[in-house]
């Protein structure tokens, strides 16, 4: 049992909390943090936080220690903190080659920050009489606990303890958020008005869900690798661990496939782009091109791995295929349409679809083979959404497959199509993710459903015993307006406020105990029909992504809008220091920050 606020280890060992007492303790914990006036502006909020008196002051003599200095992965968070502080201050903050002791923080050398990779034998850093770090060992298959850590800040020393490098990394991100926001600017401050100190605290933390994702559509508009890295940096800061990279669309194919060079030489360029909303039918008349080389993809994947972010690629099929068919028209249903496909210039859904013939499956398997060589992610997203069936209804080839396989119709044909791709991915040790349309006609075994048309798809998948990721349009589509459309930049429509996001719970009330475990997380989607620049991506994503991070990391019982709102002003100052072009939320006027909340 974790030690809570206001209860000693001895008291905890002799007293079993009732549910009411536990709830009271959580409320007291939140109240204590809020009463500190932003002393702990951590987002997402940790699982357990015990405020303590005093601060740990950084100075020229502060050293960073690592329990295993030769383990580069475990050492990386220490080096990252060292670089961050060294660039922002006049302190050397070097990582010492001295091995950090694995005992309690009281046994640590004074004026040190230790990163300790636990092995299950070390005592708890806060109190040797408490249970050992065995509870922090990495249980195989316990994905929800991947990333857990303990953090203790005392006036004499600081310790981050975790069973995995990922946990050490998240502990470092929490330390980072406890430092003054000026630490993000890297300007070498020599300003006595800045108190380079950490508030004393005891934290025990772990994620609520194993999948905590943000998506970015580069099919409609492409963004430079430098910005993709910035996007990943912000995910890591907020303990989001999955970047869903939407790489192919009707309006553009964005990833180099060496076996099929026309996918980018032809499929990456469209003749024009829409201006304004779809109904206006206005175009800019300018060619729009862009794609990523395989080396650029490897660079992004490496960068993300260093920050414990998994990159999940999406290659759309069987619909949203018009750019691919413009490059290789023979993969379409050529018997019902001419072969003069073009890359789409209009947003929305297009009827062009891959034809379910053997040549098409060979093509897609070859594409996915190259994709799997670039992305080590266990999951490969294949889309599966918004696939009009009219061309299949008219296609002799498609109808022959329906008859040969004894399928009931075109919906079953899509299931057959997805199942074949899923089997191929399974043979290569990967798992298929698809939008909730893959449920139609039967769900492929082992597939994960991304529920976007509300929550029904996720609920259905969970009841079938298969995993689901919740990403409903009304709560987690970040291409929707954030406020009054008359005063906001152009967006696709809808309305999703910061409070709407924070108020969303990925676990539907209707699910029973057995089905609940199949809700593995949630994700917000940034579709880019109306988002042309990195600045607007950030404007649409932040601060809503902060709310997302908390609903997927923090236990649901600790979700409290007032508490989140109280931490927001200080955290937005950090985003200011990072030059993030966020939208100032309409929450409350704060005298502590120049923007309106």
Which sign, positive or negative, has the C-alpha torsion 588, 591, 593, 595?
positive
Tell me how far apart the alpha carbons of residues 563 and 553 are, in angstroms, rounded to a whole number: 15
C-alpha dist (Å) from residue 136 to 68, 131, 141, 173, 255: 17, 10, 14, 18, 40
pLDDT for 557: 96
Do 149 and 171 meet the contact criterion of CB atoms below 8 Å apart?
yes
232 CB-near residues (< 8 Å, 6+ apart):
243, 300, 303, 304, 307, 309
Burial annotation 126-165 (CB, 10 A radius, 16+ → b, else e): bbeebbebebbbbeeeeebbbbbbbbbbbeebbbbbbbbb
Residue 412 vs residue 21, higher pLDDT: 412
Tell me how far apart the alpha carbons of residues 453 and 473 are, in angstroms, rounded to a whole number: 6
* Segment 428-461, tens digit of pLDDT: 999 999 999 999 988 888 999 999 999 999 999 9
Mean pLDDT of the chain: 89
pLDDT for 140: 30
pLDDT for 489: 96
All CATH 3.20.20.80 domain ranges of the chain, comma separated, are 225-559
Of 386, 440, 460, 535, catalytic: 386
Phi, psi of 120 (to 5 degrees): 95, -10
pLDDT for 124: 53
Cis before 365? omega within 30: no
Fold assignment, 225-559: TIM Barrel (3.20.20)
pLDDT for 347: 96
pLDDT for 97: 79
Do 581 and 539 meet the contact criterion of CB atoms below 8 Å apart?
yes
Task: Find residue 162's DSSP bridge partners.
Answer: 117
Give the count of beta carbons closer than 10 Å to the beta carbon of residue 568: 23
Whether the predicted pLDDT of 593 surpasses 50:
no
Here the tokens at position 127 are: 């109190």
Three-state secondary structure string covering 365-399: HHHHHHHHHHCCCCEEEEECCCCCCHHHHHCHHHH
Tell me how far apart the alpha carbons of residues 483 and 491 are, in angstroms, rounded to a whole number: 11
pTM of model > 0.85: yes
The arithmetic mean of pLDDT across residues 106-127, rounded, is: 76
Whether the predicted pLDDT of 362 surpasses 70:
yes
pLDDT for 32: 60
pLDDT for 109: 94
pLDDT for 30: 56
Whether the predicted pLDDT of 18 surpasses 90:
no
Tokens 């210039």 correspond to 345
pLDDT for 133: 32
Cis before 113? omega within 30: no
Tell me how far apart the alpha carbons of residues 540 and 568 are, in angstroms, rounded to a whole number: 17
The arithmetic mean of pLDDT across residues 477-505, rounded, is: 97
* Segment 187-226, tens digit of pLDDT: 766 666 889 999 999 999 999 999 999 999 999 999 999 9
Tell me how far apart the alpha carbons of residues 530 and 509 are, in angstroms, rounded to a whole number: 34
* Segment 371-417, tens digit of pLDDT: 999 999 999 999 999 999 999 999 999 999 999 999 999 999 999 99
pLDDT for 166: 97
117 CB-near residues (< 8 Å, 6+ apart):
67, 68, 71, 74, 162, 163, 164, 165, 168
What pLDDT band is residue 296 in, cutting at 50, 70 and 90?
very high
All CATH 3.30.379.10 domain ranges of the chain, comma separated, are 37-205
User: Dihedral of the CA atoms 57, 60, 66, 69 (nearest 10)?
Assistant: 170
Give the count of beta carbons closer than 10 Å to the beta carbon of residue 44: 27
291 CB-near residues (< 8 Å, 6+ apart):
222, 252, 253, 254, 255, 256, 264, 268
* Segment 24-62, tens digit of pLDDT: 665 665 566 555 547 999 999 999 999 999 999 999 999
Tell me how far apart the alpha carbons of residues 482 and 546 are, in angstroms, rounded to a whole number: 14
Fold assignment, 37-205: Chitobiase; domain 2 (3.30.379)
Tell me how far apart the alpha carbons of residues 83 and 77 are, in angstroms, rounded to a whole number: 10
Q: What three-state secondary structure class fits 88?
A: helix
Which sign, positive or negative, has the C-alpha torsion 307, 310, 315, 316?
negative
Residue 201 vs residue 74, higher pLDDT: 201
Whether the predicted pLDDT of 5 surpasses 50:
no
End-to-end CA distance of the chain: give it in Å, rounded: 38
Element counts in the chain: helices (H) and strands (E): 19, 21
* Segment 263-278, tens digit of pLDDT: 999 999 999 999 998 8
Lowest mean pLDDT, pick from 143-147, 153-157, 460-464, 546-550: 143-147
The arithmetic mean of pLDDT across residues 480-509, rounded, is: 96
Here the tokens at position 68 are: 């295993």
pLDDT for 134: 30
**Residue 21 a catalytic site member:** no
For residue 584, the 8-state DSSP code is P
């Amino acid at each position: 049992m974790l030690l809570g606020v206001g209860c000693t280890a001895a008291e905890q060992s002799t007293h079993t909390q009732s549910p009411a007492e536990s709830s009271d303790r959580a409320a007291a914990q939140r109240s204590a943090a809020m009463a500190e006036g932003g002393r702990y502006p951590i987002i997402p909020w940790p699982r357990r936080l015990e405020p303590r008196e005093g601060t740990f002051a950084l100075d020229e003599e502060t050293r960073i220690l690592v329990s295993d200095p030769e383990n580069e992965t475990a050492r990386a968070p220490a080096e990252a903190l060292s670089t961050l502080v060294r660039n922002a201050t006049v302190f050397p903050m070097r990582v010492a080659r001295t091995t950090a002791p694995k005992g309690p923080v009281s046994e640590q050398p004074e004026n040190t920050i230790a990163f300790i990779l636990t092995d299950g034998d070390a005592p708890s850093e806060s109190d040797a009489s408490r249970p050992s770090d065995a509870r922090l060992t990495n249980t195989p298959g316990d994905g929800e606990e991947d990333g857990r850590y303990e953090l203790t800040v005392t006036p004499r020393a600081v310790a981050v303890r975790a069973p995995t490098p990922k946990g050490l990394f998240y502990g470092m991100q929490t330390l980072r958020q406890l430092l003054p926001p000026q630490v993000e600017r890297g300007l070498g401050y020599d300003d006595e008005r800045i108190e380079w100190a950490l508030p004393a605290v005891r934290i025990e933390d772990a994620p609520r869900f194993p999948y905590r994702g943000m998506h970015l559509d580069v099919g409609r508009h492409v963004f430079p690798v430098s910005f993709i890295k910035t996007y990943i940096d912000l995910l890591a800061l907020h303990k989001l661990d999955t970047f869903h990279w939407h790489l192919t669309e009707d309006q553009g194919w964005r990833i180099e496939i060496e076996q099929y060079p026309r996918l980018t030489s032809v499929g990456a360029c469209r003749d024009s782009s829409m201006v304004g909303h779809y109904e206006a039918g206005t175009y800019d008349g300018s060619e729009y091109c862009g794609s990523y080389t395989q080396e650029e993809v490897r660079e992004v994947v490496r960068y993300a791995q260093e920050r414990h972010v998994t990159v999940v690629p999406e290659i759309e099929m069987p619909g949203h295929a018009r750019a691919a068919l413009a490059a290789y028209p023979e993969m379409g249903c050529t018997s019902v349409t001419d072969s003069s496909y073009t890359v789409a210039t209009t947003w929305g859904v297009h009827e062009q679809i891959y034809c379910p013939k053997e040549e098409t499956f060979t093509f897609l398997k070859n594409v996915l083979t190259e994709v799997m060589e670039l992305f080590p992610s266990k999951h490969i997203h294949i889309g599966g959404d918004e696939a009009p069936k009219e061309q299949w209804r008219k296609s002799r080839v498609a109808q022959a497959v329906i008859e040969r396989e004894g399928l009931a119709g075109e919906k079953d044909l899509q299931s057959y199509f997805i199942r074949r791709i899923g089997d191929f991915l399974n043979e290569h040790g990967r798992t298929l993710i698809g939008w909730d349309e893959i449920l139609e006609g039967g769900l492929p075994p082992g597939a994960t459903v991304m529920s976007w048309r509300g929550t029904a798809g996720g609920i259905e998948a969970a009841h079938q015993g298969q995993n689901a990721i919740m990403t409903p349009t009304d709560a987690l589509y970040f291409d929707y307006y954030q406020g009054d459309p008359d005063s906001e930049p152009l967006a696709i429509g809808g309305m999703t406020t910061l409070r709407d996001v924070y108020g969303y719970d990925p676990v539907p009330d209707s699910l029973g105990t057995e089905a609940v475990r199949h809700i593995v997380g949630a994700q917000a989607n940034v579709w880019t029909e109306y988002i042309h620049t990195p600045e607007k991506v950030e404007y649409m994503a932040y601060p809503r992504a902060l709310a997302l991070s908390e609903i997927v990391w923090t236990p649901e019982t600790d979700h409290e809008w007032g508490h989140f709102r109280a931490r927001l002003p200080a955290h937005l100052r950090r985003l200011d220091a990072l030059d993030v072009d966020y939208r100032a939320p309409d929450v409350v006027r704060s005298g502590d920050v120049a923007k309106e909340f």
